[in-house]
Amino acid sequence: MQASSFGEKFSWGVSSAACQTEGAYLDDGKGPSIWDTFTDRKGKICNNDHARVACNFYHLYPEDLSIIRQLNIPNFRFSLAWSRIIPGGTGAVNPMGLDYYDRLIDNCLEKGIDPWVTLYHWDLPQALELKGGWTNRDVVSWFSDYVSVCAKRFGDRVGHWMVMNEPMVFTGAGYFLGVHAPGRRGVRNFFPAVHHSVLAMAEGARILKSACPDAEVGSTFSCSMIEPQTTSRWDTAAANRVDALLNRLFIEPALGMGYPVKDVPVLRKLEKYMLPGDDQKMIANLDFAGVQNYTREIVSFSLFTPYVHARLVDAKRRTKDITEMNWEVYPPSIYHMLKKFDAYPGIPKLYVTENGAAFKDVETAGRVHDERRINYLKDYIAQVFKAKQEGCKVEGYFVWTLTDNFEWAEGYRPKFGIVKVDPETQRRTVKDSGRWYGDFLSGR
């Protein structure tokens, strides 16, 4: 299999996110984000790691873009930090924040790299969290103002926008489980956060489409193939509920299908937060969906899990082929999810905007021989190819991620990069997987 088999127009790239890489957490007028505050709380992050320095991408971006260039990767996805641009979340815009992203975008273009920009990759300005964050319906207008500023400033140079990254993860982990920033728990926080994210995603897309009529506007969604542990009626129904929650909760309202309440009746509670007219306002009219897949989940019925009565079977207990995230390596999952997204009416295009793996890397004599990562990427890309050959409208693939970086609650322990970063010196070393990806893209 060669990259060229996917066709000339297929977009190959690599993905990253501001909070995970930039560091410089208060430089040049940036305001704190919920992640800056959350990482200050003892015990929340593995090793009490924080993202104040991360990969220092804020200062080292020219070097990282040179690596992207050198590896022949034509597209680079990154996110903008809202609190760099509007430090207080609303109101005054920080000119130094805008200048920084101007430089980053211009440097991409000078190097022949197409910038793909995510507007929200989980780093809400802390000032807004103090006003309720995603649980406050005003977040829709705060977010809209921020999106307008970005569209106006960068719209002349950015051809691909993603309104949001994985709303299921930032609402589920951040507002239901409390394991991600801002660390809130329970349905009282989760349901309003869900509904306001759905509204903000749709409104953000409308703003971008009208400000940048030539650009492609999408949003990205986490998804995993879900299978029942046994063929019993109970496990099958449990798997169906988990599928509705993990895979369908955000894309379906965006497509005008409403929330999957038939499958998960507790979602009726979302109605409490809905105002007349919201049904229409939730529709996002996206040019593409970003499909982000890493693994599959096996589900069994559980009486003791509130609301969903289902639990995920620990991957460690059923296979040896797992990553450092304790995620099963299961390439057919990406094929399956592409087919599922492809079957929805109303999504013109799909891009795989993230796929990759964390493995324990060892450096020997200055080289990182990360064979497992290479095999993972090859096997998942082969499944993308299979879907494409069957007519699925997948038009791009982005590896998660360029550099080893801040993996949220897991800190720096899991390493996803195709480039190693020495945390002491910030020295970059292209891993064998990076070389492999570069060679694959150049047809070598």
Nearer to ligand GCO, 206 or 373 (CB): 373
In whole angstroms, what is the distance from residue 338 CA to residue 351 CA? 9
- The least CB distance from residue 417 to ligand GCO, in Å, is 10
Q: Which of 22, 203, 227, 354 is catalytic?
A: 354
Considering only CA atoms, which of 22, 9, 12 is closest in space to residue 121? Answer: 22
- The least CB distance from residue 354 to ligand GCO, in Å, is 5
216 is in an annotated binding site: no
Nearer to ligand GCO, 232 or 326 (CB): 326
**Residue 271 annotated among the catalytic residues of the structure:** no
> What's the N-to-C CA distance of the chain in angstroms?
11
In whole angstroms, what is the distance from residue 154 CA to residue 219 CA? 17
Nearer to ligand GCO, 83 or 353 (CB): 353
CB 314 within 8 A of CB 326: yes
Extended strands (E) in 317-360: 349-354
**Residue 110 annotated among the catalytic residues of the structure:** no
SS3 content of the chain, % helix, strand, coil (to 5): 45, 20, 40
Which residue number places its CB atom closest to ligand GCO?
A: 166
Question: CB atoms < 10 A from the CB of 365, how many?
Answer: 5
In whole angstroms, what is the distance from residue 135 CA to residue 277 CA? 19
271 is in an annotated binding site: no
Nearer to ligand GCO, 57 or 301 (CB): 57
CB 84 within 8 A of CB 150: no
CB 119 within 8 A of CB 146: yes
20 is in an annotated binding site: yes
**Residue 237 tokens, joined:** 């129904």
- The least CB distance from residue 211 to ligand GCO, in Å, is 25
Amino acid of residue 322? I
- The least CB distance from residue 277 to ligand GCO, in Å, is 31
In whole angstroms, what is the distance from residue 249 CA to residue 220 CA? 13
CB 412 within 8 A of CB 423: yes
> Is residue 396 within a helix (H) or strand (E), and if so which, with residue range?
strand 394-400
Nearer to ligand GCO, 228 or 414 (CB): 414
- The least CB distance from residue 79 to ligand GCO, in Å, is 9
> Is residue 373 within a helix (H) or strand (E), and if so which, with residue range?
helix 371-389
Q: Which residues bind ligand GCO (CB under 6 A)?
A: 17, 20, 165-166, 169, 222, 292, 354, 400, 407, 416
Amino acid of residue 326? N
Backbone angles phi, psi at 319, to 5 degrees: -155, 160
Sheet containing 225-228: order of strands: 225-228, 296-301, 310-312
CB 350 within 8 A of CB 392: yes
- The least CB distance from residue 15 to ligand GCO, in Å, is 7
**Residue 92 tokens, joined:** 């005054």
Q: Which of 166, 203, 216, 227 is catalytic?
A: 166
**Residue 84 tokens, joined:** 């760099």
Nearer to ligand GCO, 11 or 165 (CB): 165
- The least CB distance from residue 220 to ligand GCO, in Å, is 7
Nearer to ligand GCO, 235 or 404 (CB): 404
Show binding-site residues.
20, 121, 165, 294, 400, 407-408
State the catalytic residues.
166, 354
Show binding-site residues for substrate.
20, 121, 165, 294, 400, 407-408
